Amino acid sequence: MSDDAGGRRPSIRDVARLAGVSHQTVSRVLNDHPSIRPETRDRVVAVMAELSYSPNRAARALVTSRSRTIGILAASATQYGPASSIAAIEAAARARGYWVSTANIDASDAQSIPDVLSHLMAQSIEGLVVIAPQVRVFRAIAAQRLDVPYVTLQSTDLDPDHTLSVDQIAGARMATRHLIELGHHSIYHLAGPQDWIEAEARMRGFLEEMSAWDIPTTAPILGDWTAEFGYYAGRELLRYRDFTAIFSSNDQMALGLLHAIRDEGLDCPRDVSIVGFDDIPEASHFWPPLTTVRQDFAELGRRCVDLLLGGGADHAAPAIMPELLVRSSTARAARL
């Protein structure tokens, strides 16, 4: 049947509806896109035959026109790492003549993931970046069928074929090794939230480096990324003074630790050395200026866009190495 009951020729959306796919998927079938699964292609072709669907040249041009838009699906976008990643991707995309459409999900609401994906796909995005630091979000996304090239940031072994990351483990090992080489053997680790991928990787790096030097460790303290938590954790730890250094999983918690040390009438780094992670813009203005691990978010953004637009989004990419910035918050260990 070439026309419906109202005399209208079948459209690409009619094909999509009957085949149970998006109209973008039908477009990719028409263009023989390699990302389409054979069974999906067969189903769409069968529906086209049933409807006698054959797009004319003008309609096909509209269907296959490029949106020059990259979608970003983000969770916890107000945190420094995700926010910096989004800004870096936007800058890199603009340099390539692309726009970015960012949609935020509620990490605690599984239904928000397919809803946001549908919203982005309706904008005919040409590629997708997933910035969702929580393990549970990546697992939910893995269950979705993405029919555009995509890159996941910091997903590590959760999606190894599509991930792009800064080597969090290496960064944590750098921070811990720096303290050990200064003579610190009594080191605490103030970790991030348990469900966060970066927090787990930094914790792992800390433990691996301590083990490599055969130094006993205490259980890491699980924090929430905030300076307030760092302050109260520091006040509690300083009641016992059984350490000379703390590696904090981010700079904000390190700021709280510095505040707690000062409130106890102690000095950093004379009494306690502190290392953070991220190198937030304010880190060099803390007192004392914070030794920390810097992530190159600009390079992360450039590589992410290059992978999407260069056709390499279906292959594992080498991790970006972070950099240890040594400032005044660390010094040689004093005796306990």
Q: What is the pLDDT of residues 18-61, one digit of tens each?
A: 999 887 788 777 766 667 888 888 888 888 888 877 654 334 43
Tell me what pLDDT residue 56 has.
45
Segment of 14-18, 66-70, 84-88, 150-154 carrying the highest mean pLDDT:
84-88
Residue pair 145/300 in contact (Cβ under 8 Å)? The answer is no
Mean pLDDT to the nearest integer, 86-92: 94
Per residue in 275-286, is it b (16+ CB within 10 Å) or e — as a string? bbbbbbeebeeb
More confident residue, 118 or 283: 283
Q: What are the CA-CA distances from residue 299 to residues 170, 302, 305 (Å)?
A: 17, 5, 10
Mean pLDDT to the nearest integer, 140-162: 77
Mean pLDDT to the nearest integer, 234-250: 96
Tell me what pLDDT residue 148 has.
83
pLDDT confidence of 172, banded at 50, 70, 90?
Answer: very high
Tell me what pLDDT residue 32 has.
64
Tell me what pLDDT residue 195 has.
86
pLDDT confidence of 315, banded at 50, 70, 90?
Answer: low
CA distance 230 to 253: 4
Mean pLDDT to the nearest integer, 188-215: 96
Tell me what pLDDT residue 57 has.
38
Average pLDDT, the chain: 87
| pLDDT exceeds 50 at position 141 | yes
Q: What are the CA-CA distances from residue 309 to residues 301, 303, 305 (Å)?
A: 12, 10, 6
Tokens 């102690």 found at:
266
More confident residue, 231 or 63: 231
More confident residue, 150 or 186: 186
